[in-house]
Homo-oligomer: A and B are copies of this chain.
């Protein structure tokens, strides 16, 4: 029963705070309806190691290899994950922007806006789900910045966004960088 770790609330909240004064996607979601409207899943909680809040035990660390894209894609506090909900595909045989072998990426998806701490830009992140295999079970992560109730589906991560795929079974979630949010 200890596999759901409440300690990580703190981690998650810290990050959420970092960009909480920034704008959210409330106005943008509908613009990107072409690609648009994202992933699945529920509750504000990540499964991190109490000793090192940003690290899931038994999961190897990763790096993008790009200093302008800092952080660990297997960590719930990676900057792109500001509104993700589910198992991180980076831990499941995929990457932050690709699905594990044998799954299918949902074409319909929900969008978040996350600030990159390296260049201080706000990027549009498309949280496409990978579908057709059951729960990956690694690196459960939930962050809700900009999340709004289901009557704004393009802004909601509670819906099973495995839609338009051959199977609606949810495996993991990606965070694909699809644009820049300019502060007008």
Q: Which residues of A contact B (CB under 8 A)?
A: 1-3, 57-58
Chain A residues touching B, majority SS: loop
Report how far A57 CA is from B2 CA in the complex, Å: 12
Chain B hits for A2, CB < 8 A: 1-3
Q: How many copies does the complex hold?
A: 2
Chain B hits for A3, CB < 8 A: 1-3
Q: How far in angstroms is the closest Cβ of chain B from A56?
A: 11
Chain B hits for A57, CB < 8 A: 1
Q: How far in angstroms is the closest Cβ of chain B from A3?
A: 6
Across the two chains, which residue of chain B brings its CB closest to A57?
Answer: B1
Report how far A58 CA is from B1 CA in the complex, Å: 11
Across the two chains, which residue of chain B brings its CB closest to A3?
Answer: B1
Across the two chains, which residue of chain B brings its CB closest to A58?
Answer: B1
